[in-house]
Structure 1
Amino acid sequence: MPTGFNGRWLRVNLSTEEVRVETVPEEVYRAYLGGRGICAYILFRELRPGVDPLGSENKLVFATSVVTGAPVPGVNRVSVAAKSPLTGTYGEAEAGGFFAVEMKFSGFDVIVFEGAARRPVYLWVKDGRAELRDASHLWGLTTKETAEAIRRELGEPLARVACIGSAGERLVRFANVIFDNRYAAGRGGLGAVMGSKKLKAVAIRGMRRPFEFHDPRRLAEIARWYAESWRRYPGAVSRSTYGTPELVTPLSRDGTLPTLNFRGGSFEGADAISGETLNRTILVSREGCFACPLRCKAVVKARPPYETDPAYGGPEYETIASFGSLCGVGDLNAIAYANQVCNAYGVDT
């Protein structure tokens, strides 16, 4: 049994609807480890210069790493990459949550999509098996509607779903890929690449761990140390309490908060959109990514007329700054609603 990786990649040709498994030697993992390293390795080897980012020759990669699945924080993110339609160069983005772990537990470290489907499709992967399924009935749905419909169709309420909304379908060049309604591979327009390939979603269910780590006992010790010691560090406690919105107040105080289209660095309404105010007014709960005790992700419910669905999570610092101080908006309810609209349509914030 391999240590730290499965050694199996999925190669999905959307043009021919062929799905095949590739066996990859350990040397590739030792050289590139996984994640963005593996993404770059694949794309720079397989894409010719001048490829149209929204053409069928572009390739889209979902990648885990040799440490995905380890019970420690910060290592369980999924990398998504392609030639970016936004920049025309290499584009890579990452998302947290649980998708990466489920993907690796399903038996595959990497999924490479090539070609373009004639009709909308989604990929279903479960415990070493994979198939393309029709997604015509999903085209036009929001990200939440898509994920819910796929789970009902498969009879898999715990399936993890990465999908695009209408922005990706319409090839908006800053469309993103949304994971389970609230996590995003945001940068580079990778949602538009999915849309150009008529790939509406990727659904994953991994029920077992088909690999081992080299020294499970030492790894468990490290995980236990982190779980017991993070509360000693004020920065970690603050991040756990307020999430990334904790940055709003200190950045405004220091004059480095993006304000009024960068005409200023301090926002007079900063306190109204701060992490402290979010906790006091619209916070419902907090959740975290796989094996991370910080649980910094906010789940919010804004008040009318900007009422929001907690299924879409809540705004991170970047979204609060973009829709808040940068636009001169000091209403957290409005910002939370804008965040929901962008998550539903699959738009980068």
Structure 2
Amino acid sequence: MFAVMGKILWVDLSEGRCWEEAVPEWVYQTYLSGMGLAAYTLYRAVPAGADPLGPENVLGFVSGLLTGTGSMMTGRWMVTGKSPLTGTWGDANCGGTLAPAIKHAGYDGIFVRGISPRPVYLYVDHGRAELRAADELWGLDTRQTEDRLQALFTGRPVSVACIGPAGEKCSRIAGISNDQGRMAARSGLGAVMGAKRLKALVVSGAFPIPTAQPEEMQRLTKRFLRWANFQPPFVNGQGARLLGTVMRWMPLSLRQDGMLYKFFLTKYGTVGLNQFSIETGDAPVGNWAGTNEDFPPNRSETVNPDRIREREQAKYHCYSCPVGCGGMTHFAGGQRETHKPEYETVLALGGLLLNQDLESIFEANEMLNRAGMDSISAGGTLAFALEAYERGWITREDTGGLELRWGDSTVILELLRRMIAREGIGDWLADGSRAAAERMGRGSIEAAVQAGGQELAMHDGRNDPGFALHAALDPTPGRHTVGAYLYYEMFQLWRKIPRLPAARGPLYPKGHKYGADREKAVQAAANSQFIQLLNGAGGCLFGAFIGMQRMPLFEWLNAATGWDLDAEAYLRIGRNIQTARQAFNARENLPLKAPISPRALGLPPQTRGANRGRSVPLEELASLYWAEMGWDESSGRPPRAELAALGLEAEE
């Protein structure tokens, strides 16, 4: 087989042993690698009803099929498992350096079950694996942990993925850090590592990754790089804000070409459209109850991308990425460096909290990275706490004397410190806003803006209903990277798959987005299938935004594997992956339309601001989407015959 290593590594922490398992070729042909390999493996290995923090849960670290093949923007790794935050299928996606390390070590994935009697880390080197004591690492933050481990292995480059104090304390919003600040943050899977007493993975190797047509891979990559490296000089932060203001006032929407986003991404990273998103209503404000009018340009100036970029010392590139959206930045005074905060972090700790103090956002970002805690869920939970205090659901007695005020950066940082330490009110908040609301009662769930228990990201479904649709209907609820109407516009899949409808445009009425019809269901289903194909390949969402007529994903897959499949056939593989993830939840008898905050759906609609009068017809969209996916349109359950065909269950 080409492009894959043909086997996975199993680790049983309870028994303290490691072993290899060969992966049949048909599994790769059905699911690719990456997310697909994980979905197939976990469905079979994790029993229904397993405790997410118990020994039966399996934590999978997987690398994509295209990783290491000479393709570009295909170096993403994924961690998967049953989520302790939502109780559903859980996954988190990350860049950094772990993805190629897993394959060069000889594997397509590393799967961990059981619970160690003491803290350990897993060392994998060129086909050898062993568990080593980590007592001296327990209690260290993520950067300290990685520094210690890197110092132990100086003979060959290693990649480290580890948890910090949040994961050790089983915070259900804990993530996993790689490369000292790249975070696989969502789904609370850092808590699973903590519960298993697995402090870190240290992975190295030099196995070659063969491709079927290396010269064709090189030709395709050169063609893609012409697009990825094209960068006009006119892009700036103030211009983006003004464009957002104009688009807010326009009665028409403009179909988006992802090359425009790529220009901002190359120059600024993900923070390039901070103010643009606030102005258009894409970014929620004041715990989703406010509007752009509550964080106008004179206040949002604090998150102007030019102000963040001026602190950048060097660009950060994930493996196989020519864009380099990350960066190393410094705090005021230049005494300390930190990874540049991402868009989600800046706005979750900025406009969502009405916080105008940029320095506090940098400080909070560093705290979260070192603790190994999801900045989206942390920001959403802090916003919940501020509103709960304002509405009298908690008092100064509950907060240990803290007066929780919107925009008070001193209070925000102290509350965050207590969340990380599980100290006082922080213990209430460390498992996310839904858990805090359940503990608090008094109707406070109204202020917990989440889907299925996971806080929503900084993209408002009242501005793009596709975000709300996928946040509620994806097997991992509350996610923003699994689909939106905007994504469909940028992927331009219809250029490769003629049966798919072209996105409306170049200008179309804004009201078109708020209906429920089959066209939107077709687009949403195509989004879901394509995203999972991308995750099976190890591809970067930002690369896909450049458009499938420019990023040769389907052609790379054929050249790497030697297959001869068209784009439609690859989209069916994406559907297989999404079906396996959906089946994981269906087997748990969970609602396959996750409960989502009415506030995020515009119920009731806002009466002012960019999203005034808007609501999302989720109930109608759900049935249409499930039908388009080929699942039961009233329940969302995949048919048993399809599961049997995918090698998941025997047909009754």
TM above 0.5, yes or no, is yes
Report if aligned partners of 1:72, 1:292 keep a CA contact under 8 Å in 2. no
**2:170 is the alignment partner of 1:171:** yes
Counterpart in the other structure of 1:205: 204
5 Å-filtered alignment, 1:285-300, equals: 285-300=314-329
Where 1:201 maps in the other structure, the secondary structure is: strand
**2:105 is the alignment partner of 1:106:** yes
Counterpart in the other structure of 1:220: 218
Where 1:225 maps in the other structure, the secondary structure is: helix
In 2: Cα distance, 1:343 partner to 1:308 partner: 18
In 2: Cα distance, 1:308 partner to 1:255 partner: 36
Counterpart in the other structure of 1:321: 347
In 2: Cα distance, 1:273 partner to 1:331 partner: 9
The match for 2:302 among 245, 268, 272 is 272
User: Which protein has the bigger strand share?
Assistant: 1
5 Å-filtered alignment, 1:35-50, equals: 35-50=34-49
Report if aligned partners of 1:9, 1:21 keep a CA contact under 8 Å in 2. yes
Structure 2, unmatched stretches of 5+, are 232-258, 376-652
Report if aligned partners of 1:72, 1:226 keep a CA contact under 8 Å in 2. no
Which range moved further: 261-270 or 213-222?
261-270
Report if aligned partners of 1:124, 1:204 keep a CA contact under 8 Å in 2. yes
5 Å-filtered alignment, 1:97-246, equals: 97-156=96-155, 158-209=157-208, 211-230=209-228, 231=230, 233-246=259-272
**2:273 is the alignment partner of 1:247:** yes
Letter in 1 for 2:325: C
Report if aligned partners of 1:300, 1:308 keep a CA contact under 8 Å in 2. no
Aligned-residue offset at 1:308: 7.1
Which range moved further: 156-165 or 126-135?
156-165
Report if aligned partners of 1:249, 1:270 keep a CA contact under 8 Å in 2. yes
Aligned-residue offset at 1:186: 0.9
Structure 1, unmatched stretches of 5+, are none
Q: Summarize the Cα distance change of 1:315–1:90 in structure 2 as closer, same or farther, 3 Å threshold.
A: same
In 2: Cα distance, 1:325 partner to 1:156 partner: 46
Report if aligned partners of 1:308, 1:336 keep a CA contact under 8 Å in 2. no
In 1: Cα distance, 2:335 partner to 2:24 partner: 47
Instruction: Give the superposed CA RMSD.
Output: 1.5
Letter in 2 for 1:236: K
Where 1:58 maps in the other structure, the secondary structure is: coil
Letter in 1 for 2:13: L
Q: Summarize the Cα distance change of 1:221–1:308 in structure 2 as closer, same or farther, 3 Å threshold.
A: farther
**2:30 is the alignment partner of 1:31:** yes
Counterpart in the other structure of 2:445: none
| Deviation sequence 1:27-67 (CA, Å, 0-9, x none) | 11111111211111111111111110001111100111211
Report if aligned partners of 1:308, 1:337 keep a CA contact under 8 Å in 2. no
Aligned-residue offset at 1:261: 1.2
TM-score between the two structures when normalised by the length of structure 2 = 0.51
Aligned-residue offset at 1:70: 2.7
Q: Please list every run of at least 4 consecutive aligned residues from structure 1 whose deviation after the TM superposition is greater than 4 angstroms.
A: none
In 1: Cα distance, 2:92 partner to 2:373 partner: 13
Number of aligned residue pairs: 343
TM-score between the two structures when normalised by the length of structure 1 = 0.94
Report if aligned partners of 2:73, 2:322 keep a CA contact under 8 Å in 1. no
Letter in 1 for 2:362: A
Which range moved further: 186-195 or 71-80?
71-80
